[in-house]
């Protein structure tokens, strides 16, 4: 059943063309953000030390420990590294390239690990050395298979009919993969097969849940037998973690695990809900969705938020009070349950894999290198004028900044990135800037590409732009001057993740 809601708002006496469209709501919440070890469970969290390779059995030459790594965004299968500790790296070479096994052996396990892959790379995590969870550069892919990132890889039997050798794989239900060269996180909740006293198997292995970049992508997958490429022909109660290192370059850090896993942590199969807690979601189907609500972000509530859901499962949050894009995400769109259930509090939350940006003014006049970016603007400097929808349903946000008219539009062609264009009606005043990023760390990678917060996401500028990278209270910030040109007054950049 669909519920249609017309959401209206009144901001600075906006006319009817700024009213929101009808928005379909569905009552099945199928992808939720879950932090590591959010569910209550017993046991303690352990870590695999990456000070050296002593936690692993006889590592081959392709494996090493590094202090920092960079996986190429453009060049296939290329990782570079710097000396240090804390990161496990496989860089296949001309010699013998092998997988690596932990000394630690596990049965049930709740495993979390960060990983980085270059373009077109391929790796995997074998639970007990037998059951592969696929790691692959699946960035932007629309039709997912059991060979994509986060999938349970297929079994293999060449006695089956031609074209059917591979079977029983489980594909992710949604793609929240990030771009090559960015750090990602995968959490795997796994129950080992169970055996009676005689050694007879009495319960199959089971993937209780796989969470990629904070979003549940697989639940309750029963594993009848080891997947293709298992290191062992048999099944057993325990086995080592095995990391694939012969297919492509890959890096890992922050291995954390717990040996307590409860089947009750599966929620996606729940079909019957109490009427008072049935989730209400806002979905994007066929055309963009523009949704007004409160949104809670770290440290504050955005009271004049517009959440924009675009096609291909990519979305952003826009603050009408200051013109900031304050978060971006991939995956499903919004959980509006806090707004519509019970008394409601006006709040809606992104469902997908969220990256928080900053909720500070989008524009400012900066007259010197030492002038800080303002947290707020003086009264009357910024005046929101609503937004207009184009024929495709995409909003252009409009506001007055210090007496000049601004048009602000963000688009996405294929779900891989967001491209933002800020244009000025008429000439821009001197020293007008937009702040593109404010982060603990920003690195210039060349050719207009910057990594933000240790490769959490990228910013891409046009080659003719001259962004300003400078110190900020948080660490570093990236400013882009808005200058008058023969082609008009506008700037454009892309957020890539």
User: What is the total residue count of the chain?
Assistant: 497
Q: Would you call 263 helix, strand, or coil by DSSP?
A: helix
Tell me, what's the pLDDT at 278?
A: 76
Q: Give 476-492 pLDDT, tens digit per residue.
A: 999 999 988 766 799 99
Q: Give 62-115 pLDDT, tens digit per residue.
A: 999 999 999 989 999 999 999 999 999 999 988 889 999 999 999 999 999 999
Angle (nearest 5°) at CA 335 between 307 and 292: 30
Q: How far does Cα 449 stand from its chain's mean position? A: 19
Q: Can you read off the two tokens belonging to residue 172? A: 């992710």
Tell me, what's the pLDDT at 488?
A: 77
Backbone phi and psi for residue 10, each to the nearest 5 degrees, phi listed first: -125, 105
**How many whole angstroms separate alpha carbon 264 and alpha carbon 261?**
9
7 or 241, greater pLDDT: 241
Tell me, what's the pLDDT at 9?
A: 35
Tell me, what's the pLDDT at 276?
A: 59
Beta-strand relationship, 449-452 and 215-223 = unpaired
For the chain, the average pLDDT equals: 89
Please name the residues in contact with 276: beta carbons below 8 A apart, sequence gap of 6 or more. Answer: 341, 342
Give percent above pLDDT 90 in the chain: 79
Beta-strand relationship, 239-243 and 100-106 = antiparallel
Tell me, what's the pLDDT at 467?
A: 97
Q: Is 418 exposed, middle or buried (0-12, 13-18, 19+ CB in 10 A)?
A: buried
Q: Can you read off the two tokens belonging to residue 138? A: 């699946």
Tell me, what's the pLDDT at 100?
A: 98
Tell me, what's the pLDDT at 429?
A: 86
pLDDT at 365 over 80: yes
pLDDT at 164 over 70: yes
Least confident of 148-157, 340-349, 357-366: 340-349
In eight-state DSSP terms, residue 164 is -
Q: Give 281-303 pLDDT, tens digit per residue.
A: 999 999 999 999 999 999 999 99
Query: Which uninterrupted H or E stretch holds 216?
Result: strand 215-223
Tell me, what's the pLDDT at 495?
A: 98
23 or 140, greater pLDDT: 140
Q: Give 301-329 pLDDT, tens digit per residue.
A: 999 999 999 999 999 999 999 999 999 99
299 or 267, greater pLDDT: 299
**Selection from 384, 369, 308, 457 nearest residue 11 by Cα:** 384
Tell me, what's the pLDDT at 38?
A: 45
Query: Which uninterrupted H or E stretch holds 337?
Result: helix 337-340
**How many whole angstroms separate alpha carbon 399 and alpha carbon 395?**
13
Tell me, what's the pLDDT at 340?
A: 85
pLDDT at 342 over 80: no
**How many whole angstroms separate alpha carbon 407 and alpha carbon 400?**
9
What domains appear along the chain, each with residue ranges and CATH number?
Answer: 3-31+278-496 (no CATH), 46-265 (2.60.120.560)
**How many whole angstroms separate alpha carbon 82 and alpha carbon 395?**
44
Please name the residues in contact with 207: beta carbons below 8 A apart, sequence gap of 6 or more. Answer: 131, 133, 152, 170, 188, 189, 190, 218, 220, 221, 223
Tell me, what's the pLDDT at 27?
A: 31
Tell me, what's the pLDDT at 23?
A: 34
Give percent above pLDDT 70 in the chain: 88
Residue 401, CA atoms < 13 Å, CB-side half-sphere: 29
Residue pair 459/424 in contact (Cβ under 8 Å)? The answer is: no
pLDDT at 275 over 60: no
Residue pair 118/77 in contact (Cβ under 8 Å)? The answer is: yes
In eight-state DSSP terms, residue 364 is E
485 or 244, greater pLDDT: 244
Residue 153, CA atoms < 13 Å, CB-side half-sphere: 22
Tell me, what's the pLDDT at 265?
A: 60
Q: Give 403-448 pLDDT, tens digit per residue.
A: 999 999 999 999 999 999 999 998 888 899 999 999 999 999 999 9
């Amino acid at each position: 059943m669909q519920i249609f809601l017309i959401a209206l708002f009144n901001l600075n006496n906006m006319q009817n063309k700024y009213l929101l469209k009808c928005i379909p709501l569905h009552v099945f919440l199928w992808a939720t953000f879950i932090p590591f070890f959010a569910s209550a469970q017993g046991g303690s969290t352990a870590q695999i030390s990456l000070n050296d390779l002593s936690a692993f059995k006889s590592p081959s030459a392709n494996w090493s420990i590094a202090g920092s790594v960079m996986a190429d965004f453009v060049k296939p299968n290329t990782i570079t590294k710097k000396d240090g500790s804390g990161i496990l790296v496989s860089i296949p070479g001309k010699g013998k390239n092998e997988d690596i096994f932990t000394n630690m052996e596990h049965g049930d396990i709740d495993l979390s690990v960060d990983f980085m892959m270059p373009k077109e790379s391929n790796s995997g995590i074998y639970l007990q050395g037998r059951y592969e969870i696929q790691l692959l550069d699946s960035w932007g892919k629309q039709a997912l298979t059991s060979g994509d990132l986060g999938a349970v890889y297929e079994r293999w039997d060449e006695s089956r009919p031609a074209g059917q050798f591979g079977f029983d794989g489980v594909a992710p239900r949604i793609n929240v993969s990030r771009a090559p060269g960015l750090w990602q996180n995968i959490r795997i909740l796994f129950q080992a097969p169970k055996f009676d006293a005689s050694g007879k198997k009495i319960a199959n292995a089971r993937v209780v849940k796989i969470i990629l970049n904070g979003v549940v992508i697989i639940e309750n997958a029963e594993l009848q037998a080891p997947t293709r490429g298992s290191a062992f022909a048999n099944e057993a109660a325990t086995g080592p973690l095995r990391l694939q290192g012969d297919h492509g370059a890959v890096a890992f850090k922050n291995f954390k695990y717990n040996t307590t896993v409860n089947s009750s942590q599966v929620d996606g199969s729940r079909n019957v809900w109490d009427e008072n807690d049935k989730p209400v979601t806002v979905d994007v189907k066929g055309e963009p969705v523009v949704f007004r609500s409160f949104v809670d972000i770290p440290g504050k509530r955005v009271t004049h938020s517009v959440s924009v859901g675009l096609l291909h499962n990519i979305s952003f949050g826009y603050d009408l009070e200051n013109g900031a894009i304050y978060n971006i995400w991939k995956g499903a769109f919004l959980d509006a349950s806090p707004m519509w259930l019970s008394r409601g509090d006006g709040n809606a939350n992104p469902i997908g894999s969220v990256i928080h940006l900053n909720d500070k003014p989008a524009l400012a006049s900066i007259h010197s290198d030492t002038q800080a970016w303002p947290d707020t603007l003086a009264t009357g400097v910024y005046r929101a004028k609503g937004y207009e929808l184009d024929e495709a349903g995409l909003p252009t946000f409009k506001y007055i900044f210090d007496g000049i008219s601004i048009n602000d539009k963000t688009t996405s062609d294929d779900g891989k990135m967001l491209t933002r264009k800020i244009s000025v009606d008429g000439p821009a005043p001197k020293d007008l800037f937009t702040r593109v990023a404010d982060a603990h760390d920003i690195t210039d990678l060349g050719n207009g590409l910057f990594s933000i917060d240790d490769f959490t996401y990228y910013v891409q500028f046009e080659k003719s732009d001259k962004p300003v990278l400078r110190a900020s209270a948080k660490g570093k910030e990236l400013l882009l001057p808005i200058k008058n040109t023969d082609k008009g007054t506008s700037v454009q950049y892309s957020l890539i993740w």
